[in-house]
Amino acid sequence: MNRTVLITGSTRGIGVETAAEFLKKGDQVVIFSREKQHVEEARERLLAFGKKEALLSQAGDVRKRKDVERIIRKSMKRFGRIDVLINNAGVGFYGPVEETTEEKWDHIIDTNLKGTFLFLRQIIPIMKRQGKGIIVNISSGLGVEGMGNFSAYSASKFGVVGLTRALADELSDSTIRIYAVLPGAVDTTLLADSGFQMDPSDLLRPEYVARKIFEAAQGRRRSGSLITVYS
């Protein structure tokens, strides 16, 4: 398809499977996450799905404006455009609000919500200049429905939905389309590390969610759509 797709948090779980999906379809993909080793391991894995020239990888933190600017600059230098942005990087915390330290709150809100904002703020002007672009923000079922012991996470994901809806309105005169994908519980490190227990047979597979994200990025739905992936 030959589009350039930047995916944050793309070294494991839903993000790396989404990167594989786009590479298989012939797109160019930019992967990005904090840990250099995770980036290198994901790169090795992803080379099975696409050519070396189609894959750009870089370590960086979505919470840091300079890291965000650097990866966007590198992507533009290498590919000359960014057609699709997938704001996927995320962290979770499961526990009562009184055990949610200020540090945990900031980590979750800064990664899931501010990180999304930092990418949008830089990439929307590029998409406006290109005359088109598609943005997929990964929220969660907990972005429209609160659940006990997920207060910080849920607040961050409601925020992602709000950001998506506000920008769909703001960009309604442009050809840029923006969506939020809201998965149910997925079998990834994020969920396993949160301490939340679920029957493994009830979990979605990350490859399945990745295919739904790929579908959303075809841009056929009305901008501002919230796309649930519950089964």
Ligand X SMILES: NC(=O)c1ccc[n+]([C@@H]2O[C@H](COP(=O)([O-])OP(=O)(O)OC[C@H]3O[C@@H](n4cnc5c(N)ncnc54)[C@H](OP(=O)(O)O)[C@@H]3O)[C@@H](O)[C@H]2O)c1
The catalytic residue positions are 153
DSSP helix, strand, coil percent of the chain (3-state; round to 5) = 50, 15, 30
Does residue 216 bind ligand X (CB under 6 A)?
Answer: no
Q: Which of these, 25, 71, 19, lies nearest to 46 by C-alpha position?
A: 19
Does residue 159 bind ligand X (CB under 6 A)?
Answer: no
Does residue 191 bind ligand X (CB under 6 A)?
Answer: yes
Among 43, 61, 123, 210, binds ligand X (CB under 6 A): 61
In whole angstroms, how far apart are CA 56 and each of 6, 74, 134, 208?
Answer: 9, 9, 19, 24
**Bridge partners for 226 per DSSP:** 180
- To the nearest whole angstrom, how small is the minimum distance from the Cβ of residue 107 to ligand X? 8
Does residue 34 bind ligand X (CB under 6 A)?
Answer: yes
Does residue 33 bind ligand X (CB under 6 A)?
Answer: yes
Among 168, 186, 213, 216, binds ligand X (CB under 6 A): 186
- Residues touching ligand X, count (CB under 6 A): 31
Does residue 189 bind ligand X (CB under 6 A)?
Answer: yes
Interface mask toward ligand X for 116-145; x: CB under 6 A: ----------------------x-x-----
Pick the closer one to ligand X by CB: 3 or 63. Answer: 63
Does residue 188 bind ligand X (CB under 6 A)?
Answer: yes
Q: Is 81 exposed, middle or buried (0-12, 13-18, 19+ CB in 10 A)?
A: middle
Does residue 38 bind ligand X (CB under 6 A)?
Answer: yes
Question: Would you say 45 and 118 are in contact if contact means Cβ atoms under 8 Å apart?
Answer: no
Q: Is 189 exposed, middle or buried (0-12, 13-18, 19+ CB in 10 A)?
A: exposed
Among 91, 108, 120, 127, binds ligand X (CB under 6 A): 91
